[in-house]
Structure 1
Amino acid sequence: MRGSLFLKIYLTLLASLVVVALAAATLVWLSRGEDDRGWMARRDAFIAAMLPADADIEETRLVLARLGAALEADITVFAPDGDVVASVGNPVAFPAPGERENIRSGDDRRILSARLPDGRVVVARLGDSAFGPPRARPLLWLALIAAAIGVVAWPVVRRLTGRLERLRRGVETWGDGNLALRVPVEGKDEVAAVAASFNQAARRVEELIIAHRSLLANASHELRSPLARLRMASELHEVAPSEERRHEITRNLAELDGLVEEILLASRLDHVEEIDLGDEVDLLALAAEEGARQGIEVSGDPATVRGDALLLARLVRNLMQNALRHGEPPVHAEIRRDGEGVEIVVRDHGPGIAEAERERVFEPFYRPSGRGEHAGGWGLGLALVRQIARHHGASVRQETPADGGARFVVTFPSTRASMPHRS
């Protein structure tokens, strides 16, 4: 894979095994030297006890015979000058000066030699089965263990890096424009967590892009009507200026300005995770101010919520304008308590909203079936209401009263609202 991550991980593992093997071999070698020195000291003391200097020749030969039979060995005792004192089995050569233990060339049997305190030298040629099979070389065993671990580690490391490789290819394919692509989530480790996080982020990005494409398409469609009216009114005003046509131009410009402002606000709310909710906002005062502008009666009790004052004013204004545009008078707004929370309620007495369209009216630029082009759609008003509510931890729903009309309710939880009591 790119950057040879597989080789890096695998070679790092093998290098670690080599370091461990060398360290273990060093410890084994040092401990073996200590053991050998201890064994030779005990061996020499044992032989000296078995062959005391004051023992006669017959007693020495008897001891050698017993040792030779027990060890299956050829044993010879030499005087300090190299003369043979006693022996059992085949003759053994006098050892070279300083030689203590070695394997002679061409001979597969071990030669042991020991110098006694009185100067005598005991040399034994041990049989093949005297001490069992030859001692295995620790470096060889460590090398075999490291090789076995390396073989076993190969598929494990390959599987891990293979998952990373598939994840990389998936990310690159998604980055090339295949936004519907999702990478497989394999296992339950950190790599799987990264894949799951990527899928979640990819899904969110895809939803945002689809929403923005839909918003752009709908916005361009909605902009055509006021632009066409504005063009016609401008051309007519040039031919025959009148106050009525001037007002038409102004109204269409205001509609365009409001639509562009809503589009920008919707886009901004889509791109921010959190907004500053540091203002203490009196909902009754805010609703009364907006109601006075729209000519709508407002009632209820004072209630304060934490949030963005400008966004909350936009929420109330959009609810009122929606009721005036799509409903019928009388339109009424109310601030009321709902348990520990607070509700903003805007009610009209129009034809109401069909059950199947209660949620769809919150979609940007939704146009109900059978609604003509001249009547227009729902625009971005209610979509912005829902976005603003969600950023304040609130919810919005549409209800149909028993006596007709439509009622929109925004509910703020108790953590966002407080209701002062009147004296």
Structure 2
Amino acid sequence: MLNSLFVKIYLTVLASLAVVAIASGVFVRMGMEREHAGWSGRRDAFIAAMLPADSDPAMLQATVQRLSAAFDADISVYGPQGRLLAAAGRPVPQDEIGFRRRMHPGGHHLLVSRLPDGRVVAARMRMPFGPVGRTPLAYLALIAAAIGLAAFPVVRHLTRRLEALRQGVDRWGEGALDTRVAVRGKDEVAAVAASFNRAAEQIEQLLAAHRSLLANASHELRSPLARLRMAIDLDAAGQSGLVRDEIVRDLAELDALVEEILLASRLDHIEKLERMEPVDLLALTAEEGARSGVDVSGEPGVVSGDPKLLTRLARNLMQNAQRHGSPPVSAHVGAEGGTVVLKVCDHGPGLPEGTGERVFEPFFRPQGRSETAGGWGLGLSLVRQIALHHGATVHHESPSDGGACFVVTFPATS
């Protein structure tokens, strides 16, 4: 959550507001302190003028009473030695004069002025005499909080559109090529969303055209292959047995390759299999093993899938082991932790180091492998495609006693 763009932008806005509020409060506070210092000097000069040092006690008392009535305050004047010289209203005790607080404990404002001749004038008033020393920091904090709350929906709206764009790109990258994102507004985010939609549309069209061309070409190839096979059968007397057998094998290999290309193209076009039913993987594998001459063992395991595609998966694994490995080839079906596992192993030289994942690429050929030996074709690539369409995974293992094992793990059907 802390790494999201929304949190980063919003925290940046709040931090900027806090800095502005604190800096403004400091500057205003400094100005108020200077103003208060100037006011205090003028106030003390005023009081000194109203209560001159050479006033007799009667005049001093009369002046203090007039000031008390004018300001509705209790005023006491103390001499340099602490003796009370004059008072109006309730006298202000000397122990209160020592407080450095502007607010008296009783809720009144206490004003203390020390005159140049050493006298001290103390006034207890209901209203402050001079500028009110209110700090602006609370007001600035309130303003910053209001702006922060107002910025929340704006920032959230912007980042929510970015999150929707990111989620759309993720879905598209996972293979949902029909994914498009909503284009809202006319800003840069909307422009990026529109650009993504245009690019996704063009790429989807290119891939669709490529798949259509591949499927059509593969379909058209089957007709001349069938005619060639028929011509060889009709001209069997004119061909030697070895030459004819070689041509028949080549045509069979071409026919199988075209069939695999057609199946791969069909699997590329669909997102969900149309036919799904419970299948006993052990029975299916045993039947294909009997046809291929592979020993099959294990225990029954029911998976949900297309029987034809699952048969093709088992057949491709067995044919791959027989073609690229060495006998004996074995297949085993078992249950492991809520899953059904199909494992096909051979006892050949195994896979070259670092090719355990690359063998699932179409027509992968390891470095140094001769043209005559050929590559892996589409067999294992189809195995992975079929496995993915059934919610399964496939990987390669290298047994300690040599050879190669391909393991397909299916979710079990309860």
TM-score (norm 2): 0.50
Per-residue deviation, 1:205: 0.9
- Report whether the alignment pairs 1:162 with 2:160: yes
Letter aligned with residue 123 of structure 1:
A
Letter aligned with residue 26 of structure 1:
V
SS of the residue corresponding to residue 94 of structure 2 reads coil
- Report whether the alignment pairs 1:196 with 2:186: no
Check conservation: 2:2, 2:8, Cα contact below 8 A. Answer: no
Match of 2:75 in 1: 75
Cα gap change, 1:202 to 1:163, in 2 (>3 Å):
same
How far, CA to CA, are the matches of 2:234 and 2:55 in structure 1? 145
Match of 1:53 in 2: 53
Q: How does 1:302-313 map to 2 (within 5 A)?
A: none
- Report whether the alignment pairs 1:64 with 2:45: no
**Aligned residues with identical type, % of pairs:** 56
- Report whether the alignment pairs 1:25 with 2:17: no
Letter aligned with residue 207 of structure 1:
Q
Match of 2:5 in 1: 5
SS of the residue corresponding to residue 122 of structure 1 reads strand
Match of 1:401 in 2: none
How far, CA to CA, are the matches of 1:117 and 1:131 in structure 2? 20
Per-residue deviation, 1:130: 5.6
Match of 2:176 in 1: 178
Check conservation: 2:68, 2:88, Cα contact below 8 A. Answer: yes
Letter aligned with residue 37 of structure 2:
R
Match of 2:92 in 1: 92
Per-residue deviation, 1:229: 5.7
Per-residue deviation, 1:162: 2.0
Letter aligned with residue 85 of structure 1:
L
Per-residue deviation, 1:234: 6.9
Cα gap change, 1:231 to 1:3, in 2 (>3 Å):
farther
How far, CA to CA, are the matches of 1:98 and 1:38 in structure 2? 22
What does the per-residue CA deviation read over 1:48-101, in whole Å, with 9 as the maximum and x for residues that have no partner?
Answer: 222222333344334333332332212222111112222222211236686565
Q: How does 1:362-381 map to 2 (within 5 A)?
A: none
How far, CA to CA, are the matches of 2:18 and 2:169 in structure 1? 36
What does the per-residue CA deviation read over 1:170-211, in whole Å, with 9 as the maximum and x for residues that have no partner?
Answer: 222223333222110122222222211211111111111112
Letter aligned with residue 72 of structure 1:
D
How far, CA to CA, are the matches of 2:135 and 2:117 in structure 1? 36
Match of 1:275 in 2: none
SS of the residue corresponding to residue 127 of structure 2 reads coil
How far, CA to CA, are the matches of 2:162 and 2:2 in structure 1? 10
Check conservation: 1:101, 1:113, Cα contact below 8 A. Answer: no
Match of 2:40 in 1: 40
Match of 1:119 in 2: 118
Per-residue deviation, 1:160: 2.1
SS of the residue corresponding to residue 69 of structure 1 reads helix
What does the per-residue CA deviation read over 1:3-48, in whole Å, with 9 as the maximum and x for residues that have no partner?
Answer: 4333333333333333333323333333333222222122112212
Letter aligned with residue 148 of structure 2:
G
Per-residue deviation, 1:240: 4.6
Match of 1:104 in 2: 104
TM-score (norm 1): 0.49
| Of 44-53 and 148-157, the range deviating more from structure 2 | 148-157
How far, CA to CA, are the matches of 2:29 and 2:229 in structure 1? 98
Match of 2:137 in 1: 139
How far, CA to CA, are the matches of 1:52 and 1:2 in structure 2? 68
How far, CA to CA, are the matches of 2:121 and 2:128 in structure 1? 20
How far, CA to CA, are the matches of 1:204 and 1:228 in structure 2? 37
Check conservation: 1:95, 1:113, Cα contact below 8 A. Answer: no
Match of 1:288 in 2: none
Letter aligned with residue 53 of structure 2:
A
SS of the residue corresponding to residue 103 of structure 1 reads coil
Check conservation: 1:100, 1:114, Cα contact below 8 A. Answer: no
Check conservation: 1:75, 1:123, Cα contact below 8 A. Answer: yes
How far, CA to CA, are the matches of 2:35 and 2:229 in structure 1? 106
Per-residue deviation, 1:114: 0.9
Letter aligned with residue 208 of structure 1:
L
How far, CA to CA, are the matches of 1:80 and 1:129 in structure 2? 25
Letter aligned with residue 145 of structure 2:
A
Check conservation: 1:25, 1:142, Cα contact below 8 A. Answer: yes
Cα gap change, 1:129 to 1:111, in 2 (>3 Å):
closer
SS of the residue corresponding to residue 187 of structure 1 reads coil
How far, CA to CA, are the matches of 2:59 and 2:220 in structure 1? 125
Question: Unmatched 5+ residue regions in structure 2?
Answer: 240-414
SS of the residue corresponding to residue 118 of structure 2 reads coil
Check conservation: 1:95, 1:123, Cα contact below 8 A. Answer: no
Letter aligned with residue 216 of structure 1:
L
Q: How does 1:195-344 map to 2 (within 5 A)?
A: 195-224=193-222, 227=225, 240=238
Cα gap change, 1:119 to 1:2, in 2 (>3 Å):
closer
What does the per-residue CA deviation read over 1:313-336, in whole Å, with 9 as the maximum and x for residues that have no partner?
Answer: xxxxxxxxxxxxxxxxxxxxxxxx
Match of 1:338 in 2: none
How far, CA to CA, are the matches of 2:47 and 2:114 in structure 1? 9
Letter aligned with residue 56 of structure 1:
D
Letter aligned with residue 104 of structure 1:
H
Check conservation: 1:100, 1:112, Cα contact below 8 A. Answer: no
Letter aligned with residue 55 of structure 1:
S
How far, CA to CA, are the matches of 1:225 and 1:77 in structure 2? 124
Letter aligned with residue 197 of structure 2:
N
Question: Unmatched 5+ residue regions in structure 1?
Answer: 242-423
Indicate the RMSD between aligned Cα atoms, in angstroms: 3.3
- Report whether the alignment pairs 1:128 with 2:127: yes
Letter aligned with residue 40 of structure 1:
S
Match of 2:275 in 1: none
Q: How does 1:336-355 map to 2 (within 5 A)?
A: none
Check conservation: 2:39, 2:130, Cα contact below 8 A. Answer: no
